[in-house]
Amino acid sequence: MATALRNLSEYDKNFIPNGADFKIGIVVSEWNDQITFNLLKGAKEALIENGVKEEHIHVEFVPGAFELPLGAQFLAEFVKPDGIITIGCVIQGETKHFDFVCDGATQGIKEVALNYNLPVSFCLLTDNTLQQSIDRSGGKHGNKGVECAIACLKMIGLKKKLQKK
């Protein structure tokens, strides 16, 4: 595992765009909520720490990871945020269901980003064990929700910079 020896959630605030004028949508899977709610907490804290107003953070919940793309599409169409963070957790089981859910969610999230020309951060944990998910949702490897919030802010900043040219 590439992250085995480090916490990847640390970042230099000097390189993050101020989000004071950004509107962020977050879609969260209710499946594995002990993990996804920690990811949501990390994402919201990172957004607020970097200037996003709490009233500009729009959170919606979907049943599972497979529903994340459609939830993100609904946010893109009806909320019209500057960026979206998709949060989910799929843990390997004994069947191929894991592969289908992960692939469908991944491809769907990518399609929303490209079809709407919108930064959509991918915070879908696809771990082999519950412990790996715990470690990546506020445990020894940090909080992937923080990382995805920062990625979303950076991509919004990039889009706004390029639109001005």
Q: Give the pLDDT confidence of 63-107 residue by residue, as tens digits.
A: 999 999 999 999 999 999 999 999 999 999 777 787 888 889 999
Domain tally, the chain? 1
Question: For 155, how many CA atoms within 13 A lie in the half-sphere containing its CB?
Answer: 20
pTM for the full model?
Answer: 0.91
- Residue in 56, 58, 97, 141 annotated catalytic: 97
6 domain-assigned: no
Number of residues that make up the chain: 165
CA 83 – CA 156 distance, rounded (Å): 6
CA 162 – CA 165 distance, rounded (Å): 5
CATH number at residue 65: 3.40.50.960
Domain extent for 128: 21-164
Using pLDDT thresholds of 50, 70 and 90, give the confidence band for residue 1.
Answer: very low
**Of 72, 65, 70, the residue nearest 119 (C-alpha):** 72
Phi and psi at 27, nearest 5°, equal -115, 130
98 domain-assigned: yes
Q: Is 58 a catalytic residue?
A: no
The conformational region for residue 60 under phi > 0 = left, psi -120 to 50 = alpha, else beta, is beta
3 domain-assigned: no
16 domain-assigned: no
Tokens (6 digits) for 72: 């993100």
- pLDDT greater at residue 101 or residue 160: 160
Query: In b/e form, how buried is each residue of 7-24, taking b as 16+ CB within 10 angstroms?
Result: eebebeeeebbebeebbb
Using pLDDT thresholds of 50, 70 and 90, give the confidence band for residue 5.
Answer: low
Using pLDDT thresholds of 50, 70 and 90, give the confidence band for residue 25.
Answer: very high
**Count of other CB atoms within 10 angstroms of residue 119:** 22
**Of 57, 58, 61, the residue nearest 70 (C-alpha):** 61
Using pLDDT thresholds of 50, 70 and 90, give the confidence band for residue 8.
Answer: low
Using pLDDT thresholds of 50, 70 and 90, give the confidence band for residue 61.
Answer: very high
125 domain-assigned: yes
pLDDT of residue 2: 45
10 domain-assigned: no
149 domain-assigned: yes
Phi and psi at 102, nearest 5°, equal -60, -45
47 domain-assigned: yes
